[in-house]
Every structure is written in structure tokens, then in C-alpha cells.
Amino acid sequence: MKTTPTEHYHQQFTVVRSELPGLSTPWFDQLRKDALNRFSEKGFPQRKAEDWKYTNLSVLTDHNYVTKTDQIGKINDGEINSIAGEIDAEISLVLINGRFSKLLGNLTSENFRLENLATLVSREPETIREYLAESAETLTAFESLNTAFMADGVYLHVNRDAKISKPIQILHVTTSQDDHVHYNTRNLFIFGENSEVRIIERFLSLDSIPGYLNNTVSQVILKDGAKAEYIKLQDEDPQSFHLSVHRVHLNRDSRFSAHSFSLGGLLSRNDVRVDFLGENASCNLNGLFLVDGERQADNYTTTEHRVPRCQSSEQYKGILNDQGKGVFRGKIKVHQDAQKSDARLNNSNLLLSEKAEVDTMPQLEIYADDVKCSHGSGSGQLDTEQLFYLTSRGIDHAVAHALLVFGFASSVLERIESESLKGFFKNLLISRLSANREIKELVQ
């Protein structure tokens, strides 16, 4: 008889527990066990659940994923350095197959502390106890599995008043291992009072690796007056799976600006949950997803306006080709006390083929009366008038097509505050367009 998921993950836990960090810390070990039990109680979400209705869950639940405990496979160090070097970063932390590999760059800054989570858990677990304890009420089976099996990740604490102009880079590289391995990484980002920082987190695959699952959970805490720009790039193997949850806590006067680029993966899903905890904070969530073949990208966001005078604005765009599929569910909830909230939300999608499909659900729930809120969505094909206009100027049809696709995506790029990162993403996006050589020459 086939092993049930519950049996499988309990067996896995018994096998790998001693290889995971924190065994000697009772509360940490208990945290894992509790999470595993919660997973057993709740099981995987059912497809009829509202949040999973449009996602093909079976690809995630039919396989019994395993945790690899042996050392990282063979890595070409030069290749890793050259990938990291694509970003002009203050410092880069590299994780390979879900485990810490190395740090590159300015290692002696007094402005922040950057460490891998496993080291911190074994040396001074109390530093992170309050943050991990806070997330005990996990919402999905995948978050429970993440807590039960987290092997490593990133701890970044930016000191109060610190201003770090170059981005801090976190590089997750996956390389050849067996099929159906899952990597459970956990990040903790804590931005001190009035600090200013920029983070870029990249998920990449080095070889073609069928069927692995990156299951990552990040907690992001902005203290009073902190300003953070956070960019996530998921550009993994087209056969891989990617699940990611971000829980963002915004305190008074803080400003969070996030940009998410979902370019790879057979199925990727981002859940971003933002809580406004202090007044006068603001949050911008931007995203771009690109799917082709039979790939799918899902983006779910929930913004909770719990306190007055906060501002949120959100724009996600999707470009869908072949039989690609996209899901966007953006939810804004304005609680009763959150007067003077200003919330805007928009999703627009470009369908480049007849068979591409997108489900878009902007949602507003408003319980306060003095607020400004708007939401909208639209999906359509390339505008034939625009195409004719460009070709009537002598521009090749394929180039005109690519220019319009680039033009559609460019508003997401324009929102990136860092000029150097904007340039990086512009080039990356162009490299994915059909007439990329011509377009690249044009927009330089």
C-alpha cells in the first residue's frame, strides 16, 4: 500500500531529525514536532479550498518529497562567484541546495548582521526565538512542513539608523540531486528603527533538475521608520516547483517596497501577507510573472490594514504564452479602526496565445468608512493598432511584438528604486523576449 503523506513525513522526520539544526534546543525541537503534528492534523489543502482552487495541488501532494542530509554536491566555485557578481552587492550569502555555502563581499560591516540560520540556531537560538514562536500559527500544510524540516536559511538584522546603499544579495542555487527533494529554507529579516536597506533574493538552478521543490518561508519585520526595498527573483528550472510565503510586519512610519519576478518553475506560488501594525506606514507590492509551455505561476497577496493612515499600492502583471497559466488573488482588508487608509490594487495580464489562461481576483473587504480604496484587473491580447503603428514605421513584426511586450512589463521595472537593479532586471526581461537581440540594442 502507498504510504500516506502523514506517514511519509513522519518517517522522514525520524530519519533526518538529527541532521537538522536545533536538536539540542528543546523549544526548537518542540517547534518542529508541533509543526509536524499540525501538518498531520490538517493535511494538505483540498482543491476546493478557495486559496487552492486554481492551483494544481496534486503535483505537490502526490510525491513524497525527501530531505537530503548529505553534503552539497559538486559545485563549480567560479560559476557561483560569477552568478553572484551579476549584482553589485554589499554582501552576498550563497545557499546551495538549501544549505549555507558561503559569504562574499563586505563581511565586516557594523551596520548589519547576516548569518545563516543553521549556525544561529546552534549557537544562540534565543536570538530568534520570539520571531519563530510568533509564526507558530502557520496557515498551510506547506508552512508546517517548512517549520518541521527547515534546514537553513538567512538571518539578517539591520541595525537601527543604518543606511546600506548597495543591495544585500541572497542567492539560492539548486544543483543536481535526486528527484523529489524538497528544500525548506527559512528567512528572518529584521530591519531596525529608521534603517534603510535593499535586499535581492534570487532562486536559480544550475542544471536541469526534474521535480525538486523549493519551499521557503520568510518573515520580514520593519521597525518604526525603517525603509526596505526587497526584490525576489524566481528563475528556476522549468521542471521545478517553488512555494514561497512572506509575512511582512510593518510598524509605524515604515516603508516596504517589494518586487517579485516569477520567471521559472513548472509551478510557482508566492503568498505575500502584509500586516500594518503601526500608523503611517506604506507598502508597495509589485510583481511580474512570465509563463510559457505548460508552466503556471500563482501570486496571492493579502494586505491587512489594521491601523489608521497607512497606504498600500499593488500592481502585478502577467505575460502568458503557449498553454501557460497564471493566478492572481489580491486581497485588501481594511479593518474597522483603519480610518484614512489608502489602498490600491491592480492586476493586468497579457495573453500571447489562445490557450494561455489567467484567473484574476482582486478583492476588497472594507470595514472602515473613511478610506480611499480602488481595485481593478484586466486581461487582453496585444493591441493590433499598436502593432500596425510600429510596423507602419518599418519595424519588423517580431521586433514590434517584442517591443510591445517589453512596454507592457516596463511599468513594473520602472517601480524598482535602485537604478542598478532596474538595469539588471531590464536586461533579464529582454533576454526572455523572442526578438531579444534587436530589443537589447534598442533600449541600451
Partner 1 sequence: MLKINNLKVSVGDQQILNGLDLKVNPGEVHAIMGPNGSGKSTLANVLAGRDNYTVTEGSVQYLGKDLLEMAPEVRSREGLFMAFQYPVEIPGVSNIYLLKSALNAKRKHQGLDELDAVDFLSLVKEKLDLVQMDRSFLNRPVNEGFSGGEKKRNEILQMAVLEPKLSILDETDSGLDIDALQIVTQGINTLKSETRSIILVTHYQRILDYITPDFVHVLADGKIVKSGDRSLAYEVDEKGYGWIKN
Among 390, 416, 421, 430, binds partner 1 (CB under 8 A): 390
User: Mind spelling out the 3-state secondary structure of 332-353?
Assistant: EEECCCCCCCEEEEEEEEEECC
38-46, 109-117, 307-315, 379-387 -> range binding partner 1 (CB under 8 A): 379-387
Contact 235, 261 (CB under 8 A): yes
Contact pick of 119, 407, 420, 437 for partner 1 (by CB under 8 A):
407
Burial 282-317 (b: 16+ CB within 10 A, else e): bbbbbbbbbbbeebbbbbbbbbbbbbbbbbbbbbbb
* For partner 1, the closer CB: 83 or 387: 387
By CB under 8 A, which span of 99-107, 152-160, 268-276, 399-407 interacts with partner 1?
A: 399-407
Quote the least distance from Cβ 330 to partner 1, whole Å: 21
Q: Which of 261, 406, 424, 425 binds partner 1 (CB under 8 A)?
A: 406
Q: Residue 55 and residue 298: Cα distance in Å, rounded? A: 8
Among 233, 327, 395, 433, binds partner 1 (CB under 8 A): 395
Q: Cβ distance 320 to 326 under 8 Å?
A: yes
Choosing from 383, 420, 431, 437, the residue that interacts with partner 1 (CB under 8 A) is 383
Answer whether 201's CB lies under 8 Å from 229's CB.
Answer: no
Helices (H) and strands (E) in the chain, counts: 11, 19
User: Given the rule CB under 8 A, which of 36-44, 319-327, 400-408, 418-426 is the region that contacts partner 1?
Assistant: 400-408
Q: How far is the CB of 312 from partner 1 (least distance, A)?
A: 23
- Say which residues have a Cβ less than 8 Å from residue 238's Cβ, sequence separation at least 6: 264, 265, 266, 293, 295
Residue 109 is a binding residue for partner 1 (CB under 8 A): no
The residue among 60 and 395 lying less far from partner 1, judged by its C-beta, is: 395
Tell whether residue 419 is a contact of partner 1 (CB under 8 A). no
Number of residues lying near partner 1 (CB under 8 A): 27
One DSSP character per residue, 209-232 reads: -TT-EEEEEEEEEE-TT-EEEEEE
Is residue 410 close enough to count as binding partner 1 by CB under 8 A? yes
Taking the least distance from each CB to partner 1, the nearer of 267 and 400 is 400
403 binds partner 1 (CB under 8 A): yes
Q: Which amino acid is at 328?
A: F
Per CB under 8 A, the segment of 66-74, 251-259, 366-374, 377-385 that binds partner 1 is 377-385
Cβ atoms 312, 285 nearer than 8 A: yes
Tell me whether residue 70 is exposed, middle or buried, using C-beta atoms within 10 angstroms of its C-beta: 0 to 12, 13 to 18, 19 or more.
exposed
Q: CA 12, CA 86: separation in Å to the nearest integer?
A: 37
Min separation Cβ 392 and partner 1, Å: 5
CB of 219 to partner 1, least distance (A): 34
Minimum CB separation from partner 1 for residue 384, in Å? Answer: 7
Pick from 210, 396, 431, 437 the residue near partner 1 by CB under 8 A: 396
Nearest CA to 354 among 393, 305, 320, 402?
320
Neighbours of 24 (CB within 10 A): 10
What whole-number distance in Å separates Cα of residue 111 and Cα of residue 52? 41
One symbol per residue from 334 to 373: x for binding partner 1 (CB under 8 A), - otherwise; what is it?
----------------------------------------
Residue 380 sits in the site that holds partner 1 (CB under 8 A): no
CB of 433 to partner 1, least distance (A): 13
* Listed ranges 224-232, 246-254, 280-288, 382-390: which one lies at the site for partner 1 (CB under 8 A): 382-390
Instruction: Identify the residue among 27, 397, 420, 431 touching partner 1 (CB under 8 A).
Output: 397
Q: Which helix (H) or strand (E) holds 361?
A: strand 357-366
Torsion over CA of 423, 102, 113 and 260, rounded to 10 degrees? 40
Write out the residues near partner 1 by the rule CB under 8 A: 383-386, 388-397, 399-400, 403-404, 406-411, 438, 442-443
